[in-house]
A and B are shown apart, each in its own frame.
Chain A
Amino acid sequence: MRIALRELRRRPGRFVPATAVLALLATLLVFLGGLLDGLFLGSTGAIRAQRADVIVYSADSLDQFLRSRIDPALRAEVERVPGVGETGGLGVTLVGARVPGRDEPADAAVIGYELAPSGVPDTPAPGQAWADERLRADGVEEGDTLRLGAAGTPVRVLGFVDDTGYLLQGTLWVAPATWRTVQDANRPDAAVADGVFQALAVRGEGDPADLARSIDAGTAGATSALTRDEAIYSLPGTRQQNSTFTGIIAATVMVAALVLALFFVLLTLERTALYGTLKALGASSLQLFAGVLLQAVVVSAIALTVGISLALALGGIVPAGVPLQIEPTRIIATVVLMMLSAAVGSAVSLRRVIRIDPASAIGRTT
């Protein structure tokens, strides 16, 4: 053990190349994870914030807000289903919002709501809105009056809420009446009558999956009710994004393990004579391997520190169009994965260490 640490201290040069490669891989992992989180969290915030067990769409919508339509009659049917408690209408319109003092309009998702999602205050008066923090980057400030869409519907910003983005656009949480005004003025072809919403947030008793099933049964298939998690993953592209990025991340972790394995196999090979001698002097295979493992862990730890710092620095300079969001949980996950791959990678050397014959120390040189 002490020999292993001393080698690291005395001959750091021999570990630099492997550390550099691993650091780059750590940067890649954090960066990839940050992209995934940025895309996922920025797209799904408005649904994740819903304090609802079930989200109900109309059956023809294929679970997309913009094509869903729940009229008052259908809503009444849903409310009659046993187990259904409170329900709240939801409606979304994606529009450009003109910000005072800015030339470029901001991308906004105007969401009319009845049941306050977590972190969002109760429904404001018509003509007012709670804005997502995301909109600050576009110059939106408290008290500003934004003009929405071609019709320029005015909405005054009361304050800000966090983590409620919808499809990477900043959400403006408004009263249903305000949403209808915006929708009708800017999408006359998708105009909605009073009382009509796109979806319903439903609170109820029991298992959400069961509740969803009984709602669909209760409306004779006119609705498509999803649990909140299902609704998150039915947002366009979310599922594909997740599986694609998870695949890339997994392959990158495998590369890290392979690199470590390769490096320590080479190192072990170099030390065959030394290990033979140490074994002849009484060191066990386990002790020797513990040294290898220790070195792998130290090398990985240093690589992680450098790599994560690099990723954070890189995060500061990426163009604004890249939806990068580096979360503490992602950093922790990266550390755990890299350490595991270090352990697995160095284990490849175990067999070699065991096979070294102490007798080789006498007479033969290698």
Chain B
Amino acid sequence: MFLAFAEIRRARLRFALLAGAVGLLVYLVLFVQAITGNLVTEFIGALKNQSAQVLVLGADARQNLEGSRVADDTVAAVARVDGVDEAGPLGEGTFTVRAGGSAREAVLFGHILDGPGSPTTLTEGRLPARDGEAVAADGHDGDGFAIGDRVVVLPDGDPITIVGVASEANYSVSPALFVSYDTYVAARRTVNPDARAVEPSAVAVSVVPGAAPADVAARIGRTVDGVEALTRQEAVERSPGVSAVRQSFSVVTLLFYIVIPLILGLFFVILTVQKTSALTLLRAIGADRAQLVRGLLLQVAVVLVAGVVFALGLLAATGAALSAGGFAVGVSLGVGTLATTLGIVVGLSLLASLVSVRRMLRIDPVRAIGGAGTA
């Protein structure tokens, strides 16, 4: 034990380089995961955290709410399908609004108040009760989306008063505003004087108690023409970008996971080989195998702890830099994700150090006599 620490003290540069490399890699894995998770939430949070269990999109929308339009009479047609409790129009659109004194982006989610499509993660205030009221995504208090603030859809819409805030309710990296369907229609007309009709983006559906949303969605798809019915989960997963982001970043994460144990394993194998003669001597004067292995594992643990501390420090610094730089997507990580990632890193690293352990176990103390084992 004492030897293991003494060795680290004597060879600070080597261990610092290794801990630095491991730390940077752990940081990268955590960073990529944080970005993936937060990016996805930023893109589809509002869709995930609204009350409609089934969303009926236009068949040509390519499963993208932003590009979807359904005919007005589709709402009634969907309402007649077996298993549908309530069906209401849902309007979604990105608008430029004046909030907190400047022009900003906001995504309006227009729904029938008290009907499907209302926010489910209200943290403060209340749900809108009439036209011109909204629940806004939280985290934008300073931007003019706090309770009591008024926002105006440019160029000259009627003011919308924020009466509540909901968590994880962004959409396309902009704050969502849950408003009445008529408020949404009015916003469309404000923006475009040439507008002919304002059609719903989708039909928001709640299913009767006990019915499975997937079954109801399938039935709607079969019986109503020109639509594609998705469960809430499907609508989230198939949103543009979500699967592309997930797949791309999972390949990157996988590669990082391979590199970490490789570097760590490589380092300790070389170190063990270099120390073979000393280790042989130690064995000859009575040190048992377990002692040597414990020393090695202790060093692995020291490197991992130093690396992880370094990584977490970097992550915190990045988070501070990003929020100072005004980036919407932060690097906060759930405790579960953090624990899983670190668990995988530690597990793989221990696995990689087994190669060194094996070498250590094969050392024959007899070789200390005669010098044959000093090579």
Which residues from chain A sit less than 8 Å from chain B, CB to CB?
17-18, 20-21, 24-25, 27-28, 31-32, 35, 59-62, 64, 66-67, 69, 94-96, 98, 105, 107, 149-150, 168, 184, 186-193, 196, 236-237, 240, 244, 247-248, 251-252, 254-255, 258-259, 261-263, 265-266, 269-270, 314, 318-319, 321-324, 348
Residue of B27, B60, B155, B196 near A150 (CB, 8 A) is: B60
Complex-state Cα separation, A18 to B259, whole angstroms: 11
Cross-chain contact A67 with B255 (CB below 8 angstroms)? no
Task: Tell whether A105 pairs with B192 under 8 Å between CB atoms, given A61-B96, A262-B14, A269-B274.
Answer: no
Residues on B with beta carbons closer than 8 Å to the beta carbon of A17 = 262, 266, 269-270
Residues on B with beta carbons closer than 8 Å to the beta carbon of A60 = 96, 103, 154-155, 191
The answer, yes or no, to whether B337 is at the interface (CB within 8 Å) is: no
Considering the complex, give the chain B residue whose CB is closest to the CB of A108.
Answer: B62
* CB-defined A-B contacts under 8 Å, sample of 20: A17-B262, A17-B269, A28-B259, A31-B251, A35-B252, A60-B155, A62-B104, A62-B105, A94-B67, A96-B67, A150-B58, A150-B60, A150-B226, A188-B197, A189-B192, A191-B192, A192-B194, A248-B252, A258-B17, A314-B251
The answer, yes or no, to whether B183 is at the interface (CB within 8 Å) is: no
Cross-chain contact B274 with A95 (CB below 8 angstroms)? no
Would you give the shortest CB distance from B54 to chain A, in whole angstroms? 20
Residues on B with beta carbons closer than 8 Å to the beta carbon of A196 = 194
Residues on B with beta carbons closer than 8 Å to the beta carbon of A262 = 14, 17-18, 21, 263, 267
Task: Tell whether A248 pairs with B28 under 8 Å between CB atoms, given A191-B192, A258-B20, A265-B14.
Answer: yes
Task: Tell whether A193 pairs with B274 under 8 Å between CB atoms, given A25-B259, A62-B105, A258-B17.
Answer: no
What string of 1s and 0s marks CB contacts (under 8 Å) between B88-111 and chain A?
Answer: 000001111000000111000000
Complex-state Cα separation, A249 to B252, whole angstroms: 11
Cross-chain contact A21 with B263 (CB below 8 angstroms)? yes
What string of 1s and 0s marks CB contacts (under 8 Å) between B211-254 and chain A?
Answer: 00000000000000010000000000000000110011001100
Cross-chain contact A27 with B247 (CB below 8 angstroms)? no
Complex-state Cα separation, A119 to B21, whole angstroms: 46
Complex-state Cα separation, A323 to B14, whole angstroms: 39
Cross-chain contact B271 with A266 (CB below 8 angstroms)? yes
The answer, yes or no, to whether B69 is at the interface (CB within 8 Å) is: yes
Task: Tell whether A258 pairs with B244 under 8 Å between CB atoms, given A193-B194, A266-B270, A318-B251.
Answer: no
Residue of B13, B32, B191, B197 near A248 (CB, 8 A) is: B32
Task: Tell whether A184 pairs with B196 under 8 Å between CB atoms, given A95-B60, A258-B24, A262-B267.
Answer: yes
Would you give the shortest CB distance from B259 to chain A, in whole angstroms? 5
What string of 1s and 0s marks CB contacts (under 8 Å) between B332-365 and chain A?
Answer: 0000000000000000000000000000000000
Considering the complex, give the chain B residue whose CB is closest to the CB of A61.
Answer: B96
Residues on A with beta carbons closer than 8 Å to the beta carbon of B95 = 67
Would you give the shortest CB distance from A163 to chain B, in whole angstroms? 19
Number of interface residues of B (CB under 8 A): 65
The answer, yes or no, to whether B31 is at the interface (CB within 8 Å) is: yes
Would you give the shortest CB distance from A1 to chain B, in whole angstroms? 24
Cross-chain contact A237 with B259 (CB below 8 angstroms)? no
Would you give the shortest CB distance from B100 to chain A, in whole angstroms? 15
Considering the complex, give the chain B residue whose CB is closest to the CB of A14.
Answer: B270
Extra A-B contacts (5), CB below 8 Å, given A168-B244, A188-B196: A188-B195, A189-B192, A240-B328, A262-B18, A322-B248
Considering the complex, give the chain A residue whose CB is closest to the CB of B172.
Answer: A236
Would you give the shortest CB distance from B263 to chain A, in whole angstroms? 5
Complex-state Cα separation, A263 to B21, whole angstroms: 12
Complex-state Cα separation, A24 to B261, whole angstroms: 12
Cross-chain contact B329 with A259 (CB below 8 angstroms)? no
Interface residues of B in 139-181 (CB under 8 A from A): 154-155, 172-173
The answer, yes or no, to whether B61 is at the interface (CB within 8 Å) is: yes
Task: Tell whether A95 pairs with B263 under 8 Å between CB atoms, given A67-B94, A193-B194, A270-B274.
Answer: no
The answer, yes or no, to whether B35 is at the interface (CB within 8 Å) is: yes
Task: Tell whether A240 pairs with B327 under 8 Å between CB atoms, given A105-B62, A150-B69, A322-B247.
Answer: yes
Complex-state Cα separation, A168 to B62, whole angstroms: 14
Residues on A with beta carbons closer than 8 Å to the beta carbon of B192 = 69, 189-192
Complex-state Cα separation, A60 to B191, whole angstroms: 9
Would you give the shortest CB distance from B130 to chain A, in whole angstroms? 23
Residues on B with beta carbons closer than 8 Å to the beta carbon of A193 = 194
The answer, yes or no, to whether B283 is at the interface (CB within 8 Å) is: no
Cross-chain contact B17 with A191 (CB below 8 angstroms)? no
Complex-state Cα separation, A90 to B197, whole angstroms: 23
Residues on A with beta carbons closer than 8 Å to the beta carbon of B20 = 258
Cross-chain contact A322 with B244 (CB below 8 angstroms)? yes
The answer, yes or no, to whether B59 is at the interface (CB within 8 Å) is: yes
Would you give the shortest CB distance from B253 to chain A, in whole angstroms? 11
Task: Tell whether A105 pairs with B60 under 8 Å between CB atoms, given A240-B327, A266-B271, A323-B244.
Answer: yes
Cross-chain contact B251 with A255 (CB below 8 angstroms)? no
Ranked nearest first, the 4 interchain pairs of A and B with the lowest CB-CB distance are A258-B21, A96-B60, A262-B17, A17-B266
The answer, yes or no, to whether B369 is at the interface (CB within 8 Å) is: no
Cross-chain contact B58 with A95 (CB below 8 angstroms)? no
Complex-state Cα separation, A14 to B244, whole angstroms: 40
Residues on B with beta carbons closer than 8 Å to the beta carbon of A105 = 60, 62
Task: Tell whether A150 pairs with B17 under 8 Å between CB atoms, given A95-B67, A251-B24.
Answer: no
Residue of A18, A189, A318 near B266 (CB, 8 A) is: A18
Would you give the shortest CB distance from A153 to chain B, in whole angstroms? 11
